[in-house]
Structure 1
Amino acid sequence: MSKFYVLALVFVFTALASKAQTGQWNQANETPGPESILHDYYTAENHYQNRHFSTAAKNFQSLIDKADETISAPSFLGAAYFRLSCIAALDYQVQKDDTANSLFKTTLSRHKKDYDLAIYFSSEAVSIEPENQDFLFHYATLLTDNNQWEEATIAFVELVHRNPHSWTLHEKAAEGYLKHCNESIQNGQEKLVEQAENLIRFCDTWAMHFGLSALIVKYKSEGLRLQNKPLSADILVWEEGQLLQSQFNKRRKVNSTESIKPLGAKTRLARNYTLFKKAAGIMNILEMQAQLDSIETQAAVFSGEALIEAYKEYLIAEYTKSLALLTKNFNVDNNTFMRLEFTRLIALNQTKLGLWGEAWKNWNHLILSDPLRTDLYENDYSFAIETAEKTGNTAIADKLKKRARDLDIVLPQN
């Protein structure tokens, strides 16, 4: 009996050990699921938004390290590298209870910006999501800040090709060309002539989109000067026109203090916003497109085309398609105005689809938190009121009805 008892114990322990070993193997080889990756990403993003940069850096790096373990991770890889790039380019205080990521150069209490590392992370983000224009713009800006003008120019020119109506991107690309020309002076005349020619050709393309202006003339003239060439015919004609205009003004004795001054950049942009809102209120697609084209030339806005396409889908009652477009492109821009316009159309689609709870969150945001619009669009009141009533927010619905009456807005009868 004693011998049998010992053998039984040996068998049991062997079985338990085998089971435990198998369990450990399964646990070690278990790949993180999409929910785990999503949770990790938003945890890291939350630390970033709360300015816990060193903790965020570790979390984003951990997310990248998991990329080889799961097919779900790559969808977050670009964003993770982008955030690591943002963090690497910052100077910030490291919290006492936190330890900075070993990839970053740090002192005991302070992280110092590291452009080389930031550019590396940014290039990784761009390589993973080459179509993401925010990533590419960030990459180009870092290169500019680090005086890497050749690479920065290439990136900005690519952005110009994607956004040919953006004045800002043209200006940044031209600046890059000129800076690169100045660098090329040290590399011999042949290299300088080549870069100056690139600048001249770029200015010609720039002028095709916007017409000659003082800034374009300035950059093109610099390119010609670097090549030891005389001013081109188009510049001479432009300068002659400016001279004739000046003489005409003098003959009319127009005092510069009395003449009508052109709108400043901020005023012009604000006017475009106002005109867009008027067009959006009545769903005038052509006017909305015209104003967005002007807005995109003054601000780094890349989601205008998606917004217009979403409006087109909405107008033909394809609310699900419109909502999908808006959701996909909502985070493309950080521009407050664009986000509010996206929110407005999202709310309209959700109302049409009967998604009352989600629709009310967006209407409520527009009603209470809109810094750019003094009120809802006139045609939106009936939708906002209906959604408020459907979700039991009768008090707010009554206030909206009163506001509509005060503004002489005719609401549909129930």
Structure 2
Amino acid sequence: MDLSVTIKAIAGLGRESAAQTLDHLQPGDRLIGRVLRLDGDGRILLDLGKFRVTAHSEIPFQVGQEIALKVIRTSLPVQLRLDTETVPMASESLSPLASADFLQAHEQKRALEIIDRLLSLDAQNQPAGVFGAKVAIGPADNPEGAAETASKGSLLFPEQVRNALQQLKTFFDPIGPPAPAGQHAQWLRSAVEDRGFLFEIKLADLLEKVQASAGPPQEVVDTPGETFVPGLDSRSTLMQTMRQIVARDLKAQLLILKDFFGDLAGSGAWSDDLKASDTAHLQRTVGQLMSQVEKQQAQAIRRAGEGEVFQIFNHLLQIKDRSLPVRLKVYYPQKSRTGRTDAGHRIAVLLDMDRLGPVRVDLALLERRLSISFYVRDRNVRATFDRHAAAVSNALAGMFDRIQISTHISRRHIVRFDEDDRQGGSTAGGIDLHA
């Protein structure tokens, strides 16, 4: 294919510095580039190893994809052409589940803007709501359970929908600036446990506890996030916890929004202040997120049926002031019939660092024994990590009985971490992050 990519600027460099950076290039040279960012206007940020470039292309690339390029012209603007003779190994690009199944940055940005506008309009119209559609409010808002109909701008915004929009906004909001480790740990735990993949599992665990608890249930407060009321028996406390799970979990909120926007689109009743195209975009976003959750749940069920040791769930998390999202891959060891597992825990972190490039860190914890393995792409980076190994060990001293740290040069190990999805039980359980 005669498809070309024209480089208009070297990222972070002026024209003179850019020319010096490209002095070593000659027409005919072949390069391997990795897509770091996609912009809505066709611009892409490419990592070419020793430098990064901002390019423009009509080719539909994906974040994380590795592409083979051939140098056509070295004078600015530099021109590269897609090299069909040198094709990177398929396993060295991100798996489909890690890229195409997730929303792109510009799609998330627009969804956030629409949610902010919805919540703002709702606040301006309280106690009257934004939408004039016929909507079943439900027992919590209408004791009779009847549907209320009103003219545009006079219908109460259902509390469930308001909470669902707020939770979806939290899902898209990036983690903020550096904070105490405890805050980051709480944010990460919520991000992993409340993303919808474990929704039915959490409810099933609670139902077992409710059935095993003694005493008649008592009245429980409906307000999402309400603290436990002193004096409630254990069963009522568990029921209240169940309501809180439903109020926080992403899958439950997606189901609420899917039904609400579906009914709204079917009735054709739009607010004068809200564009139908915006609501349609949000409806598509909800559908795509729901499809992602259901697809990964189906894969987990398939793995369990095939007797594989681990269930795997993927996450993409936005970090403030970072062009690339954090990619999280959580492996849950299958429990035995006794409810125990001897697989231990493992965390694999794949970082795209500004100066050191891609670095993978594997952390394996078995009882109180911790093993940390760094995988880097060249000797200079390895020397940097070796110099700091003792400091890492000293910082963790006292938390574990044994700490083992090693550094390896392995580009292949870095780019192939997605193969864990296809190899199933070949690796230990853990979390993979790609930042």
TM-score by length of 1: 0.28
| Higher relative contact order (Cα pairs below 8 Å, separated by 6+ residues) | 2
Structure with the bigger percentage of strand: 2
Structure with the bigger percentage of helix: 1
TM-score by length of 2: 0.27
